[in-house]
Structure 1
Amino acid sequence: MGLLRIGLTGGIGSGKSTVARAFAARGVPVLDADEIARELVQPGMPAIGSIVAAFGSELLRGGQLDRAALREVVFHDDRKRLQLEGILHPLVYRELALRAAQLSEPYGILCIPLLLETGRRDFVDRLLVVDCPVALQIERVMRRDGSSEDTIRRIIARQASREERVAAADDVILNDGEPAAVECSVERLDAVYRLWARRAR
């Protein structure tokens, strides 16, 4: 058996990056779907041509994709959002699989915000959900991005619900504002995942 894939997911503002950094600090490789998506829309990469063909060359600024303008185009139009996801998601998953296959560590964290929404639960061996109250999600994203509460609520409404994520999870980290509790959870799960990975080999 190769790398044990731990899928890390959670709603916007739940603290996925905080948890991912805690695993990375323990020497665990972290593959981030959002980072890969950003790489895939750089000049010369395959996704940018497909996106321009679908949404128009006006999204280019000096050869670079204007990601903010693209977000604005798809945010208010579900059909266009699904069209963009149809272009990007297969490429992201393919790149995740390629990079995971190159890792030699016992296990890795695959941070995939829309893992459940894309119907790819089977892409990972185990699902780790970062959970927190919706009110705290909204507070964090408003503080981080300056987004309006209405905008954040609309994003949350398009994602799997808190209850759906927790029900699908193999493991849950509650990230409700206690950093020490998150560190403790990561430390415990790191030991468990290493043990399982060794046994699987």
Structure 2
Amino acid sequence: MLRVGLTGDLGSGKSTVAAMLAARGAVVLSSDEAARAMMQPGEAVYQSIVAHFGREVVAADGTLDRRKLAAIAFDPASPRVVELNAIVHPRVLAEQAKQVAMFTGTDKIVVVESALIFSAYGQTEAERRERFDRILLVIAPDEAKISRFVERVAGGRALSAEERAAVEADARRRLALQGTESHAAECLVVRNDGSLNALEAQVDKVWLDLISTPHPSPR
């Protein structure tokens, strides 16, 4: 098994790269998907979030109001994203560790997709190397990241100038708290600043690199 961490800032295109890797045969584990499952009503993470942040983050149907929770977590006056991550990520990491362990001794390339490779998965490069054999970083110009975030939030509907400005400001606040690109020296880098075909070509090269990397002995 080769363990690969896949990361990038908001809007970098890491989920697109994850899908391309999956199409080539990788096993992809999404931290976002794991977190969403754990944040459903009745789950321990859901209960902890509500207890910590209050009933105001609960929507009328009983689910978490993710937009309201995000607004609290990324409030520029008093950000609380560290508190949110402290609730969610230890549980996500524990679940992922179990899933990754299932492929020990196989020839699989197991990709963990997460925006927090450089924080939740270890504060130092040595700590991260205990979890991953390679780290893949997707980078893009900030304006491209912000544009993709706006498109995702809009969900196909037209935003007013005021709404767009608010979403763009939210994206800039989040990007300021991420900064994954400063870790490029320890990563395989994919630059997502061109066409989809250009991105596919880069992923082809990365895939060849990964499949030719010796798989470590079972741990």
Deviation at 1:196, TM superposition (A): 2.0
**Contact 2:3/2:132 (8 A) holds in 1:** yes
SS in 2 for 1:130: strand
1:167 is aligned to 185
Count of residues paired in the alignment: 197
Relative distance call for 1:107 and 1:60 in structure 2 (3 A) is same
What is aligned with 2:119? 117
Shift of 1:165: 3.0
1:29–1:145 distance in 2 versus 1, CA, 3 Å: same
How far did 1:145 drift? Answer: 2.0
8 Å CA contact 2:9, 2:115 repeated in 1: yes
Q: Does 1:181 align with 2:189?
A: no
Change (3 A) 1:102 1:95: same
Given that 2:107 and 2:215 are in contact with CA atoms closer than 8 Å, whether structure 1 keeps it comes out as no
- 1:40 Cα deviation after fit: 0.7
- The one-character-per-residue Cα deviations of 1:150-169 (angstroms, maximum 9, x if unpaired) are 2211111111253x032332
SS of 2:12's partner is coil
The one-letter code of the counterpart of 2:211 is R
Structure 1 residue 20 and structure 2 residue 18: aligned? yes
Quote the residue 2:161 is aligned against: none
Aligned-pair CA distance for 1:119: 5.3
Aligned to 2:149: 141
- Paired residue secondary structure (1:37): helix
Structure 1 stretch displaced more, 135-144 or 3-12: 135-144
CA distance in 2 between counterparts of 1:199 and 1:119 reads 19
Partner SS state of residue 184, structure 1: helix
Letter in 2 for 1:112: S
Rounded to whole Å, the distance in 2 between the matches of 1:32 and 1:105 is 20
Residue 57 (structure 1) shift: 2.8
Deviations 1:101-155 (A, max 9, x none): 1234521111011111335234222110001111221222223324532221111
For residues 25-50 of structure 1, the C-alpha deviation after alignment (integer angstroms, 9 at most, x for no partner) is 11211001011110111122211111
Normalising by structure 1, report the TM-score: 0.87
Is 2:212 the counterpart of 1:195? Answer: yes
Q: 2:72 maps to what in 1?
A: 73
Instruction: Please report the RMSD computed on the Cα atoms of aligned residues, expressed in angstroms.
Output: 2.1
User: Counterparts of 1:199 and 1:125 in 2: how far apart (Å)?
Assistant: 8
Aligned to 2:4: 6
Q: Structure 2: which 5+ runs fail to align?
A: 123-127, 155-163
Q: Of residues 125, 134, 137 in structure 2, which corresponds to 1:126? A: 134
Q: Distance in 2 between matches of 1:115 and 1:187?
A: 22
What secondary structure is seen at the aligned counterpart in 2 of 1:152? helix
1:152 counterpart = 2:152: no
Range with bigger deviation, 175-184 or 107-116: 175-184
| SS of equivalent residue, structure 1 residue 34 | helix
**C-alpha distance in structure 2 between counterparts of 1:161 and 1:193, whole Å:** 21
Structure 1 pair 149–94 and aligned structure 2 pair: CA distance change class (3 A): same
Please report how far the alpha carbon of residue 80 of structure 1 lies from its aligned counterpart in structure 2 after TM superposition: 2.6
Identity %: 36
